[in-house]
Chains A and B, each alone.
Chain A
Amino acid sequence: MDIKDKISKLVPEVEFKEQGDLIAVIPAASFHQVAEALRYDKEDAFDYLRDIVGMDWGETLGALYYLESTTTHARIALRTETADRENPLLPSVSDLWKTAIIKEREAFDFFGIKFVGNPDMRRIFLREDWVGYPFRKDYDEKSNDLNMTNEVNADVTTEYILNADGTLSTEEHVVFQPEDFVINVGPQHPSTHGALRMRVGLDGETVSRVDPVCGYIHRGIEKMNESLTYPQTLALTDRLDYLSAHQSRHALCMCIEQAAGIEVSERAKYIRTIMDELQRIDSHLLFYSCLVLDMGGFTPFFYGFREREMILQIMEETTGGRLIQNYNMIGGVQADLHPDFQKKVKEFIKHMRGIVHEYHEIFTGNVIATTRLKGVGVLSREDAISFGATGGTGRASGWANDVRKHHPYGLYDKVDFKEIVYTEGDSFARYMVRMDEIMESMKIIEQLIDNIPEGEYRVKTKPIIRIPEGNYSTSVESSRGEFAVFLESHGDKMPYRLHYRSTGLPLVHALDTVCRGQKFADLIAIGASMDFVIPDIDR
């Protein structure tokens, strides 16, 4: 049965919008019922909630829910809204998808939408004493001055409950129990990979609760995008997840090109795909270095950086940048490949294949490494899907979620590569997924590098790009999961709302489940094996 018929059968008053993505507009009253029906559908369960995008449509506040099925990989978006701007209430779907708990907190933080039934309605990125909701269109950006007092974190979370007679009541939940010994990790800590802060409840040496506190590097990129033209928005994507700079920018370029009807040349597609894979190897090498460094090994750090430096040099020759390349442009890429590019890439792959055994010899088989990684921090497949933990973390738990396979973009439908899936779900599997992916990425590059067609590397675009009204989205497999761009255009030269799916936010959210019952010292190893980048979480 068609998905449209299914929803219409449940809610006859549903409307469908088909400018760009297919969106079903559902009244808030029957939203939870539809979500539940889709979540537990017999033929095609939409068990993966990709993202919740909070929205301010002027008269109404609301959210877009992007769903995907893990069996058929079909996608659908739902929209629901409320006209009450003073006290906006929407039903929570946190009982259906665990990831909704943290995504709804994000929407609450930015738009002030209260999700009825979500057990944790605290702010997530901004300070708890922040005034106003910055992503609302009527927010005054100068209303909060720099506050230099120390922030005090609340120890209780609020849940809004709708009573049978229509009144709203609140219930409080305690974050840490009185017997928990709470240790603060971060935001200035070498092993949190950036400015992440975790409040960790301990019972002896055993972790009883992890409460991540985000936002120490929240720069408001999505809000800034609303006052930038489309070519200008590109610059900020590189600074989200700086180890997936090419891939994030690739996603945004694809989204704008798709919406504006720009066709990129075959050569540009080749260049983009090769660069994406080089970036992936670069990121995984850094993952290896950091994981080992966090666990106390110093020599492998030099191994990882030795090969990574070769990639950076290749990238620098062509793009001019080492870490942040600013290379993809709307309509293609910024500059043509350096004449030595192909030669150097082939040299690198030959070198890497010859030397990768050193990585495994020093670390993979090491007895300390295996005891600290094997069987530690297990994330089950169901939890991985429910949390939306994509990328290597999800694949280590047996969830085949590679966007390159299931929703191919670039040239991934033309190359032959294997999707690495492990089933153990422990730290060691997460580590092995990345190590194996390095080999697969090299295989992809080898298939493309000799066949780059001649042609334009960038098609000419209009100086001012306007995108027709509608909702558009694209997703790519970045180095650490599904990175997606959700764009709503109102026909202007600037986006009405541009939202990025953070690859790391679900991983940080999953830490609580994964770390419970583990030893405190393993928290660092688990965190490193999850491989999150904080500026991508906070945006």
Chain B
Amino acid sequence: MGMKQPKIRSMKYEEFKNNDYLESMVKELQDNGVNVVVSKLDDLINWGRSNSVWSFLLGTSCCAIEFMTLGAARYDMARFGFEVTRNSPRQGDVLLVLGTITNKMAPLMKRLYDQLAEPKYVVAVGGCTISGGPFKKSYHVVNGIDKIVPVDVYVPGCPPRPEAFYYGLMQLQRKMKLEHFFGGVNRKQPKPIDE
């Protein structure tokens, strides 16, 4: 039986670079067997979810400006199904972290992440969010937001080109398309951890 392949309209499956990661994820999900009815329902819901990704923006610096160009006419992100951006965590699916997260901002970012409704995802955009970037040695910069929240997709660059944003968000769509919605990501929200 061939592996279930997520279909993205604008790009062929083989053209994506890290398919092995996706394949291992599918294998893990299918290990316990899949109910046919539920999996068909999953597919339907995931089709809807992945084509209307509402991003919740946490723009702190340069990457946020580069993200604005995605909303404008030349790069027009509406073509890919993630043009709706929200500024309230109550209305977002994906936390897009655009720009450096400093020590002072970190608790706020954690709180915003906790406020997002499940199923939620995090995209770390730019070198600063991935590792601290050029400010790695600073006394006031978090060296990678994955120390605070789980990250689904990393988009490197300083700032990333608009094409890189697309690639990253398409990778997220592919992940969404493969997940189990029932009994999977649609779980009851765990209580936020209070340190």
A binding-site residues for B, Cβ under 8 Å: 125-127, 134, 141-142, 144, 146-151, 187-190, 194-195, 215-221, 223-224, 227, 235-236, 239, 242-243, 286, 289, 301-302, 305-306, 308-309, 312, 322-324, 534-535
Contacts and interface: CB of A to CB of B under 8 A. Distances in A.
A149 B62 contact: no
Chain A CB within 10 Å — which of B57, B58, B103, B147 has the most? B103
B61 A194 contact: yes
A478 to B, nearest CB: 15
B159 A323 contact: yes
Contact of A194 (B59, B74, B111, B141): B59
Given A144-B139, A323-B66, 18 more contacts: A134-B139, A141-B139, A146-B106, A146-B142, A147-B107, A148-B106, A148-B195, A149-B195, A187-B105, A215-B102, A216-B108, A217-B99, A220-B141, A223-B139, A236-B134, A236-B135, A302-B72, A309-B74
A188 B72 contact: no
Contact of B58 (A188, A219, A286, A534): A188
Contacts of A142: 139
Interface of B: 57-62, 64-66, 68-69, 71-74, 87, 99-100, 102-108, 110-112, 134-135, 137-142, 147-148, 158-159, 161, 195
Nearest to A310: B74
Contacts of B142: 146
A151 B107 contact: yes
Nearest to B140: A220
Nearest to A305: B72
A243 B153 CA distance: 27
A243 B62 CA distance: 9
A189 B57 CA distance: 9
Closest 9 CB pairs of A and B: A305-B72, A242-B62, A220-B138, A141-B139, A535-B61, A195-B60, A190-B87, A219-B135, A216-B105
Given A188-B87, A306-B72, A309-B74, A239 B61 contact: yes
A223 B134 contact: no
B141 A219 contact: yes
A341 to B, nearest CB: 20
B66 A306 contact: no
B53 to A, nearest CB: 18
Contact of A218 (B59, B99, B104): B104
B72 A224 contact: no
Chain B CB within 10 Å — which of A188, A216, A308, A324 has the most? A188
B138 A151 contact: no
Contacts of A239: 61-62, 134
26 contacts: A126-B140, A142-B139, A144-B139, A146-B103, A146-B142, A147-B107, A148-B195, A150-B111, A187-B60, A187-B108, A195-B61, A217-B61, A218-B102, A218-B104, A220-B139, A227-B137, A235-B134, A236-B134, A239-B61, A242-B62, A242-B65, A305-B72, A312-B69, A323-B62, A323-B66, A535-B62
Contact of B138 (A216, A224, A242, A324): A224
Contact of A148 (B100, B110, B137): B110
Nearest to A214: B104
A286 B71 CA distance: 13
Chain A CB within 10 Å — which of B58, B59, B64, B140 has the most? B140
Contact of B64 (A144, A147, A194, A289): A194
A126 B58 CA distance: 20
B191 to A, nearest CB: 16
Contacts, number: 128
A148 B102 CA distance: 11
Contacts of B140: 126, 134, 218-220
A221 B135 contact: yes
A535 B137 CA distance: 17
A323 B141 contact: no
A150 B107 contact: yes
Given A218-B102, A223-B138, A309-B72, A188 B112 contact: yes
Contacts of B138: 219-221, 223-224
A127 B139 contact: no
Contacts of A188: 58, 87, 108, 112
Contact of B60 (A149, A190, A216): A216
A146 B100 CA distance: 15
Contacts of B68: 289, 305
B170 to A, nearest CB: 20
A289 B159 CA distance: 20
Contacts of B147: 146
B26 to A, nearest CB: 35
Chain B CB within 10 Å — which of A142, A217, A305 has the most? A217
Nearest to B109: A188
A102 B66 CA distance: 30
A534 B98 CA distance: 14
B107 A216 contact: no
A224 B137 contact: yes
A194 B57 CA distance: 11
Contact of A127 (B62, B103, B161): B103
Contacts of A126: 104, 140
A446 B110 CA distance: 50
A189 B147 CA distance: 24
A195 B105 contact: yes
Contacts of B141: 219-220
Given A126-B104, A127-B104, A286 B139 contact: no
A301 B140 CA distance: 34
Nearest to B148: A148
B60 A224 contact: no
Contacts of B148: 148
Contacts of A286: 65
A131 to B, nearest CB: 12
A512 B66 CA distance: 30
